[in-house]
Structure 1
Amino acid sequence: MHIGERIKILRKERKMTQEDLAKVLKVAPTAVSAWESGRNKPLMDKLSIMSTCFDVPLSHLVDGTSVVKNDPSMEFLNEKNVRLIGVYGNIPAGEPNFTNEYIEAYMPTLNSMLKNNKDYFYLRVKGNSMNKEFSDGALILVEKTSYLKNGNIGVVLVNGYEATVKQVKMAEDTITLIPCSTDPFYEEKTYHIKNDRVKILGKVVQAIKIYD
């Protein structure tokens, strides 16, 4: 059973039409129809709303995990225990400002996975330079920080260009960006932090694998 079939069952159990659900989610009824037929999949922010609307854990919607009512081990997504974190398809060149105009969606993320005093963003991976860690199209959760330890995987901006994701090796005045790839085309590169205008944007703390 695919995700759309579970949405259809839950919707009908609650005697909702596709139009009813569409109004709750602020989408067109055709979007709900496409999900239920398996032609498309809802984004995580819509799944979060449906999780609350249907009173089921997100895991049940995503992969069919059994619903056990009043089970304290099941964390339900709601406005009290999640933070909506912006998903960036790319980070703009120059001085990144992380404004809403660059956000393509919002990902609900459990507070238990986050630090209270830290800010985060999701970035969609492009290319295969880190395919040993995560594939092209995967989402990575990034903790905003200007400091990285040797061996951390970070998001780094060099010379004002689009941000790159690499494992890092730090020295006093230099930073080496190390690809983790099965493709020998990608090689490690060393930059002078000041001369090459290197800006560390964050540390990768989690990756979400995307399946075709």
Structure 2
Amino acid sequence: MLLAKNLKFLRTQVQMTQTELAEKLGLQRTMISAYEDGRSEPKLSSLDIMAKLFHVNIDELLYHDIEAQGRKAVQNKSIKVLTIAVDGGDNEKITMVGQKASAGYLNGYADPEYMESLPQFHLPNLSRHTTYRAFELSGDSMLPLVPGTIIIGSYVEQIKDIKSGKTYVLVTVTEGVVYKRVFNYLEENGKLFLVSDNEHYKPYEVKGEDVLEVWEAKAFISTDFPNPKDKSKPVSLEDISQMILELKSEIIRLGGK
């Protein structure tokens, strides 16, 4: 059973003291110390509170090595209930999340009133059976798409459906709103690898449980026309695969954490 290790890891991750956790459970601090040392086991009622407090299920808390393997992010359920906008004919509209709105989107993506305050529009030739959202790019990590380009993404209900090598807009609690080429290693370690098409940016990983929304890139809108003299080129899929292998080797060398 991995309760002792998981409890200490999850508590320190959220910077909670043993005393603070004990207060939430209605226990003495010494009991939390005993749980984390493996000298005692909590009652089911306390386990239930812990699971809710750290956003895990009891089975994961007891038997899954969260620190070493990451969260069990592959689930057969929707990431969340999606807030959408419709017109007078009950047709879905595309909500636009601009650069300045990105920070507020993390707090307001599930708030209908906030979503209604964002710009909305229609585009022709898109499926009426799919929900779309538009995100404005910032930075140059996805050249040749320049800052200000608008990415049109279709909603992905389940994070496990992310296809390695394709580009997505991810809304995450750790990185905010990002547009990257994504490689899906959820079944291996509960994580995603995010890669920039601009070779000057290094790949990095995101835990599956930190992902709030996933939007698969389907189209883009830009006022910047390609310049044939521009020597900036995106890295190839072969280059990306090599970067992923190097990154995974480095993670393994450092202990897989």
TM-score, normalization: structure 2? Answer: 0.43
- Note if 1:139 corresponds to 2:150: yes
Paired position in structure 1 for 2:217: 204
How many residues are treated as equivalent by the alignment?
Answer: 126
Higher share of residues assigned strand: 1
User: 1:115 aligns to what?
Assistant: 127
> Aligned pair in 2 of structure 1 residues 105, 158: CA closer, same or farther (>3 Å)?
closer
Query: What is the CA-CA distance between 1:160 and the residue it aligns to?
Result: 4.8
CA-based RMSD of the aligned residues comes to 2.7
Q: Deviations over 1:136-190 (max 9, x none)?
A: 00111110113320111111133355211100000112210000115x1x21002
User: 1:211, CA displacement in angstroms?
Assistant: 3.1
Instruction: For residue 192 of structure 1, report the CA deviation from its aligned partner.
Output: 2.9
Partner residue of 1:187? 202
Gaps of 5+ in 2: 1-87, 226-257
Distance 1:165 1:109 in 2: 21
Flag the 1:95–1:168 CA change in 2: closer, same or farther, 3 A. farther
For 1:1-212, what aligned pairs fall within 5 Å after superposition?
84-89=93-98, 90-91=101-102, 92-94=105-107, 96-97=109-110, 99=112, 101=114, 104-110=118-124, 112=125, 114-132=126-144, 134-145=145-156, 146=158, 147-171=161-185, 172=187, 173-181=190-198, 184=200, 186-194=201-209, 197-211=210-224
**Equivalents in 2 of 1:152, 1:100: separation in Å?**
32
SS at match of 1:101: helix
- 1: distance between equivalents of 2:143 and 2:120? 24
Q: How far does residue 116 in structure 1 lie from its aligned partner after superposition?
A: 2.5
Extract unaligned runs of 5+ from structure 1.
1-78
Which amino acid in the other structure matches residue 191 of structure 1?
V
Structure 2 CA distance for aligned equivalents of residues 193 and 95 of structure 1? 20
% identity of equivalent residues: 15
SS at 2:109 equivalent: coil
